[in-house]
């Protein structure tokens, strides 16, 4: 009897053992979901501070080279934004697949980079911070069919214990623009993003653990695992989208606000802070202006549009038709605040008026700025440096808020050549508020109230 009982015991208990194992799996799943909720809740309530570095601080460049590179990137960036607003003229790669999505950003026009970590164990990741797009992506060795050079090792999904593919039927997959490369043979969610400068990323949407700042981990964050990538991203390994769409970092974290403070353009040693969640806060003296909704809907809803109503030089409000800056019903025009454009680009009709007003007040001979990539430049007085050039007071008037720019946010200088240039450029079809004109300011994006706030700040001390 005892022998029979010993043989029968596992059979008798097997339903309970299976139930126990199932309950353990359920418990593990619950713990995973709980950890995700806790990490997101921690970011929202306690906040996270990240460090941004200007892309050119990692290269040995002269001041003139920094300005020229910034001008070239700004031109390409604005052209890419214009191409996205007018998709019929946008350059799209792999159009024969029927799945390409023309992205609203140039992958190779990075301005600020952020250091993160991905996977278990965590692998360091340097990515472009971009307020003009949504997708988070990095190059993946899964294996990688085509990858451009990057400063850190390729992320390998097989070496991480927390990598998971996103299925075609998931909400995350549906959030991709024209994402469906799905079939019975390929149930994973594929994506294909092509950028206006000829770069692109092609791969699958997946989830992974990301480490932000000093040890804050976020589980099941959706990202693009790119295995066929063309172009480059200025010494980075991918891109972190901070736009208004569902796949951006801020949307996935569920934070209601974020802020940054850009240190001076020519400061190669001081990093710029980025705050997520409750750490993103300004004083009661900050000025605020509402974001303008895009009437065309989701296709370009990632951008942060502002209502620019006029520009003052010294004490004179310039005679610029306000409609120059307005966003039309078709989604054209308007002004975008952008982290990836260095020099502010004003719609051509506005830039011409501004340039004339500035030139008349500087009262110095015009000089060639071709070597800097800028169009309005002045010769410094003989025997004196370009910092001696008088720069008029410049104020951007937004809906409900005035942004007065300090001298360092208006001009860039070539001290050796004795040239000072207006750090802005002309564009046709839209305007973009660039990062140089945002420096020396703490800028807060309140996503819940749909408001942008800003105030002067010593960014290196935040």
Answer whether 332's CB lies under 8 Å from 429's CB: yes
What residues contact residue 49 under an 8 Å CB cut-off, 6+ apart? 213, 273, 274, 275, 276, 279
> How wide is the angle at C-alpha 198 spanned by C-alphas 192 and 202, nearest 5°?
20
Our answer to whether residue 234 is catalytic in this structure is no
Choose, from 115, 134, 234, 338, the residue flagged as catalytic. 338
- Give catalytic status of residue 402 as yes or no: no
Where does residue 8 rank: exposed (0-12), middle (13-18), buried (19+ CB within 10 A)? exposed
Catalytic residue among 56, 130, 192, 197: 130
Q: How many helices (H) and strands (E) does the chain have?
A: 5, 28
Q: Is 188 left (phi over 0), alpha (psi -120 to 50) or beta?
A: beta
Residue with tokens 């001696």: 388
What is the C-alpha to C-alpha distance for residues 396 and 402, in angstroms, rounded to an integer? 6
Phi, then psi, of 444 in degrees rounded to 5: -115, 130
Render the burial of 163-183: b for 16+ CB within 10 Å, e for the rest: beebebeeebbebbbebebbe
Question: How many other C-beta atoms lie within 10 A of the C-beta of residue 239?
Answer: 29
- Nearest CA among 380, 376, 351 for reference residue 364: 380
**Residues that are catalytic:** 130, 338
């Amino acid at each position: 009897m005892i022998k029979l009982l010993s043989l029968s015991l596992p059979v008798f208990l097997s339903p309970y053992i299976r139930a126990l194992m199932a309950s353990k799996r359920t418990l593990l799943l619950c713990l995973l979901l709980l950890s995700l909720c806790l990490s997101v809740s921690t970011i929202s309530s306690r906040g996270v501070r990240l460090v941004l570095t200007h892309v050119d601080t990692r290269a040995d460049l002269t001041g003139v080279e920094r300005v020229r590179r910034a001008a070239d990137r700004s031109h390409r960036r604005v052209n890419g934004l214009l191409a996205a607003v007018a998709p019929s003229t946008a350059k799209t790669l792999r159009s024969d697949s029927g799945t390409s999505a023309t992205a609203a950003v140039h992958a190779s026009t990075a301005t600020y980079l952020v250091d993160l970590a991905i996977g278990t164990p965590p692998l360091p990741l340097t990515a472009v911070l971009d307020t003009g797009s949504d997708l988070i992506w990095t190059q993946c060795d899964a294996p990688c069919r085509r990858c451009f050079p990057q400063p850190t090792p390729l992320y390998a999904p097989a070496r991480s214990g927390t990598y998971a593919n996103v299925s075609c039927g998931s909400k995350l997959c549906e959030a991709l623009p024209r994402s469906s490369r799905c079939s019975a043979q390929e149930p994973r969610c594929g994506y294909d993003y092509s950028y206006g400068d000829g770069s692109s990323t092609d791969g699958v949407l997946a989830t992974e653990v990301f480490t932000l700042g000093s040890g804050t981990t976020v589980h099941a964050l959706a990202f693009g695992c790119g295995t066929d990538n063309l172009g480059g991203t200025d010494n980075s390994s991918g891109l972190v989208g901070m736009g208004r769409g569902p796949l951006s970092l801020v949307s996935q974290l569920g934070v209601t606000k974020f802020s940054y403070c850009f240190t001076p353009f020519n400061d190669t040693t001081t990093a710029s802070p980025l705050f997520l969640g409750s750490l993103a806060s300004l004083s009661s003296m900050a000025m605020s202006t509402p974001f303008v909704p895009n009437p065309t809907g989701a296709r370009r809803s990632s951008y942060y549009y502002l209502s620019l109503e006029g520009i003052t030089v010294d004490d004179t409000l310039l005679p610029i038709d306000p409609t120059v800056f307005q966003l039309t019903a078709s989604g054209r025009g308007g002004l975008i605040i952008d982290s990836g454009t260095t020099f502010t680009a004003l719609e051509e009709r506005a830039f011409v008026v501004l340039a004339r007003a500035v030139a008349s007040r500087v009262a110095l001979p015009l000089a060639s700025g071709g070597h800097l990539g800028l169009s309005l430049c002045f010769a410094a007085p003989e025997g004196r440096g370009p910092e001696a050039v008088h720069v008029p007071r410049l104020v951007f008037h937004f809906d409900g808020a005035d942004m007065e720019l300090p001298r360092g946010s208006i001009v860039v200088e070539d001290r050796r050549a004795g040239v000072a240039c207006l750090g802005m450029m002309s564009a046709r079809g839209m305007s973009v508020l660039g990062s140089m004109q945002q420096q020396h300011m703490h800028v807060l994006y309140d996503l819940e109230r749909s408001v942008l706030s800003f105030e002067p700040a010593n960014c290196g001390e935040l």
